[in-house]
């Protein structure tokens, strides 16, 4: 008798629960609704206010020159230990024309809560940069036109410049700044990098793999005078 009473009680509980799911508080199932009745499959309102996802805005707090430029300037400066000092302190930085020259600055991003103003560090995987290339003519640097003989391609996301053979022996200045700066940041001039160099016949190496390529790569120009293509180079790497 006890088992029968318990069974009837459980059945009544189940019927009552299912009936509650058919009240106006239920609505049709929405795939984006995380709250739903496990038995009838319909969404229901538990009467609690659901938290709203915070909205953030990405902002830039600082822009510094790439580490390799800082290291270059430090190394070619005067040293306390003269045995570690460069023999030629005014040597120019050299950039190769065989592959792209990467000049992405070190940018610090934050995300700002639009409602509270609270800030958090932001890890940004991809960003666009404004890149201006100037060529030295006499004692001045002159901005290049969009279509010119010295630059084959500019990648605004990778912050990379591919120079042509015509650029060999020429001196250049590159000005780089990230997009999304405020008018105040732009006018300050502190949120961009400037770097001067000379282009030579060569390959720009950024890793041990690149150095291995330089050491072991096939002849970049075959017996018919055809230059190695980017696809061939990437396939070799």
Instruction: Report how far apart, in Å, the C-alpha atoms of 42 and of each of 11, 23, 39 are.
Output: 21, 11, 8
User: Which segment of 55-64, 124-133, 134-143, 221-230 scores lowest on mean pLDDT?
Assistant: 221-230
Domain 65-104+127-218 has CATH 2.30.110: no
**What is the predicted pLDDT for the residue at 51?**
64
Contacts of 212 (CB under 8 A, 6+ apart): none
**Is the CA virtual torsion 203, 207, 211, 214 positive or negative?**
negative
**What is the predicted pLDDT for the residue at 215?**
67
Reported as a single tens digit per residue, the pLDDT across 6-54 is 455 455 555 555 555 544 444 444 444 455 544 455 554 555 666 677 8
What percent of the chain lies above the pLDDT cut of 90? 46
**What is the predicted pLDDT for the residue at 12?**
52
Q: Where are the domains of the chain?
A: 2-44, 65-104+127-218
Reported as a single tens digit per residue, the pLDDT across 113-144 is 988 989 999 989 899 999 999 999 999 999 99
**What is the predicted pLDDT for the residue at 23?**
43
CA 171 to CA 155: how far, in whole Å? 20
Question: Residues 99-138, buried b or exposed e (16+ Cβ, 10 A)?
Answer: bbbebbbebebbbbeeeeeeeeebeeeebebebebbbeee
Reported as a single tens digit per residue, the pLDDT across 169-213 is 999 999 999 999 999 999 999 999 999 999 999 889 888 777 777
What are the backbone dihedrals phi and psi of residue 96, each rounded to the nearest 5 degrees, phi first? -85, 160
Reported as a single tens digit per residue, the pLDDT across 76-90 is 777 777 666 666 667
Render 88-117 in DSSP notation, one character per residue.
Answer: -TTPPPEEESSSPEE---EEEEEEEETTT-
DSSP H or E segment with residue 200: strand 193-200
Contacts of 106 (CB under 8 A, 6+ apart): 63, 64, 65, 66, 67
């Amino acid at each position: 008798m006890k088992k029968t009473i318990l069974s009837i009680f459980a059945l009544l509980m189940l019927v009552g629960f299912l009936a509650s799911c058919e009240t106006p508080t239920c609505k049709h199932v929405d795939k984006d609704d995380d709250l739903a009745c496990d038995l009838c499959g319909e969404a229901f309102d538990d009467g609690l206010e659901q938290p709203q996802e915070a909205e953030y805005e990405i902002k830039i707090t600082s822009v510094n020159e790439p580490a390799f430029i800082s290291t270059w300037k430090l190394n070619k400066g005067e040293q306390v230990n003269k045995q570690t000092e460069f023999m030629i302190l005014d040597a120019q930085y050299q950039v190769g024309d065989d592959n792209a020259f990467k000049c992405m600055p070190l940018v610090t991003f934050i995300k700002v809560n639009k409602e509270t103003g609270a800030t958090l560090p932001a890890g940004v995987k991809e960003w666009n940069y404004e890149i201006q290339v100037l060529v030295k003519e006499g004692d001045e640097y002159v901005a290049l036109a969009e279509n010119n003989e010295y630059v084959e391609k500019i990648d605004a996301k990778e912050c990379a410049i591919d120079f042509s053979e015509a650029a060999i022996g020429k001196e250049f200045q590159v000005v780089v700044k990230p997009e999304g700066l405020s008018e105040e940041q732009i006018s300050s001039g502190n949120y961009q990098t400037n770097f001067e160099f000379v282009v030579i016949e060569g390959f720009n190496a950024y890793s041990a793999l690149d150095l291995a390529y330089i050491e072991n790569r096939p002849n970049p120009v075959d017996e018919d005078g055809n230059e190695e293509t980017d696809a061939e180079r990437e396939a070799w790497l």
